[in-house]
Amino acid sequence: MGFFDKLFGGSKNKFKIPEAGGPQPAAQPEGQPKTDNDSRQFANLRDACDTLLAEYESRGGEFVTFEDIEDDNRWVQAMNDDDETSTLNFSYPFSEEPDRLIASKGVAFPAGYTLANWESGTFATYFGPRLSISETAAVIDTLFTKLLGSSPNYSVRGKIE
């Protein structure tokens, strides 16, 4: 099975592409507050990445989802494909082609990262060489603040899926 078949499952994206409003939590019993028991809230992205990406690397999972708690339409998903490559999938509420728009907003992906897939107004997916946790956190932070419009002191909710 080729890389893109693994990533996209043929014609379907491997990531869960959220409906409007970001990744949706499971339904709660009537009368109960709407919460996602698997999600954890963090004061900042660095803490979320240190915790969740380390857990992801040690115990596995499909990917890690991070959401800005102020606006769940701002989300980023990270996945290690194998020992050599990683993938970042993120909300992309724009109609312009991602490479040009992202560069114009001051977002620079690490060397070797390329656009793998995108859908206007929905998501963009990039893949490239595997990054360390701190490198992944830096790219995700840049996506949240420079591309998606999160405030400089944003907090995140995250979970391993």
Sorted by where each begins, the domain ranges of the chain are 44-160
Radius of gyration (Cα) for the chain, nearest Å?
15
* Average pLDDT, rounded, for the chain: 81
Do residues 18 and 75 touch, judged by C-beta distance below 8 A?
yes
pLDDT of residue 94: 97
Q: What is the percent of the chain with per-residue pLDDT over 70, rounded to a whole number?
A: 77
CATH class for the domain made up of 44-160: alpha beta
Range from 6-10, 131-135, 137-141 carrying the lowest mean pLDDT: 6-10
pLDDT at position 59 is 85
Query: What 3-state DSSP class applies to 77?
Result: strand
